[in-house]
Amino acid sequence: MKKIKTSVFQLIMISVFSLFSFSACNNTPQEKEEQNKEKKVAEAENINKYKENFISFKGSDFKQGRLKQFVENSYVLDFLFRMKVNDKVGNYKYTETTPPMLGYFLPWNFYQVSANKIKIKAQNDISVNFLVKDMKWCQVQIISIKDKNTTRILIDGKELGSYDYFIPLEKKYIIGKGVKKRFWKGDIGFFRVYNYADLEKFPREYILNINKENVK
């Protein structure tokens, strides 16, 4: 009889402990919503910081580099920019100096094809344009997911294009200039690459993170 009482007591304690552990490890929907709001606020504050402390390109300077290895897993290419008046904009012909290029991270290329229009090109069948009104700050996110074979382009959080394949990043990148002598005038808040798994994390670790605070 004593053994039965002991077993029942143990079962009760295990149940209480399990319930406590479950509650501690699983937030309520309301708590999760609050955490998501906090993350969004933190991310917005992070972006606003770079709108006040940015890298300026005057049409004759640029920054370039190479990663140690190809980015072959799912990734996010994420950058914040603001265009300026450019005397070379308007000539849509591809020459030694036109159109100006915000930069590239192969196979992605970013052209300024008019005073308020950016073209994104990659491979043969990706070529999309978008407008930036009043030369405001604009955020571009390119999300390429390997296991789902999808690539999406977001402009300020809204989808611009979606494609049914994964596009690995190569090693070389340039900002402030493209191929040849296609220099660009404008501001860059940040230019960064991180793992897709870290998309919802803040703060997060970066594969590449170029901003005013960490460049010479």
- Render pLDDT for 5-22 as a digit per residue (tens, 0 to 9): 455 445 444 444 444 344
pLDDT at res. 21: 44
pTM assigned to the model = 0.80
Domains identified in the chain and CATH numbers = 57-214 (2.60.120.200)
- Render pLDDT for 139-150 as a digit per residue (tens, 0 to 9): 999 999 999 999
- Render pLDDT for 35-85 as a digit per residue (tens, 0 to 9): 666 667 667 778 899 999 999 999 999 999 999 888 889 999 999 999 987
Compute the half-sphere exposure of residue 32: CA atoms within 13 Å on the CB side of its CA.
8
**Which amino acid, one-letter code, is at 137?**
W
pLDDT at res. 52: 92
- Render pLDDT for 81-123 as a digit per residue (tens, 0 to 9): 999 877 667 656 889 999 999 999 999 999 999 889 999 999 7
pLDDT at res. 54: 96
Share of the chain above pLDDT 70, in %: 80
Cα angle 161, 162, 167; round to 5: 110
Q: What confidence category does residue 30 fall into, taking pLDDT thresholds of 50, 70 and 90? A: confident
Calculate the alpha carbon distances from 20 to 7, 13, 15, 17 in Å.
Answer: 20, 11, 9, 5
